[in-house]
Amino acid sequence: MSQYVVQFGAKDVAKLAEIFAHEIAGRKCAIQVLSKENLGTLIYQESPLPLPDALVMIIRGEVVSLIARPSQGALRYGLILPPNFNGQRLSLWSATLEWTDNGWQEAWERLLHWSDLSFITVGFEEGVEVSDECLSVESFPWQAWPTVIAAVRSDIGGQRQWTVRSNPSFPRV
């Protein structure tokens, strides 16, 4: 079974949490959180909280990261990571959604409408390596595996607009 990994990032954790909640909406999820105390071990703990409450904890800085695992459907999990998590060189908050069907295409279209996002990527089988150094149109790894399609915001005529490119090695299903 193929999987598609959708990633997106924003400067504002509250906005990223809102977008994440919108994408996970309507799904019953098991929630796991990574506390500040467990940051060195990367051991996530089960949380009895519903997703909205866990997202509030992320926004307030009470937990570092969270994973939402829907109990059914083609969305396997959602993940939120803070800036520069575990040595990554990405100064944005980021989220990941892993799909086992073409549901990623609808998520992609919805995500393009959020003006607060700085990038969106879709990777085949795994996520696209994203860092601050590649968040421009000129430096993004458009043709690199596993990129299927990606969008990066840039200033065009004084407005932040998407530049979207597909990797011809991965035809859109």
**Mean pLDDT across the stretch 37-46?**
94
Which tokens in the block code for residue 161?
């607009």
Q: Which amino acid is at 135?
A: L
pTM to 2 decimal places: 0.94
- Peptide bond connecting 168 to the previous residue in cis, omega within 30 degrees of 0: no
Please report which helix (H) or strand (E) contains residue 23, including its range.
helix 13-24
C-alpha 55/C-alpha 32 separation (Å) is 11
Looking at residue 62, its pLDDT comes to 96
Confidence of residue 155 (pLDDT cuts 50, 70, 90): confident
pLDDT, one tens digit per residue, over 92-116 is 999 999 999 999 999 999 999 999 9
Q: Give φ, ψ of 38 to 5 degrees.
A: -95, 10
Domain ranges of the chain: 4-166
Q: What is the pLDDT of residue 170?
A: 79
| Across 73-85, average pLDDT | 97
Phi and psi dihedrals of 50, rounded to 5?
-70, 160
- Among the residue ranges 15-24, 81-90, 147-156, the one predicted with the least confidence is 147-156
Q: Nearest to residue 27, comparing CAs of 89, 71, 92, 85?
A: 71
Angle between helices 13-24 and 51-60 in degrees, nearest 10: 170
Tokens of 158: 């004084």
pLDDT at 15: 98
- DSSP character string of 40-86: TTT--EEE-S-HHHHHHHHHHTSSSEEEEEESSSSEEEEEEE-TTGG
| Mean predicted lDDT score pLDDT of the chain | 94
Percent pLDDT > 70 in the chain is 97
Q: 21, 58 in Cβ contact below 8 A? A: no
Token pair in block for residue 91 = 């100064």
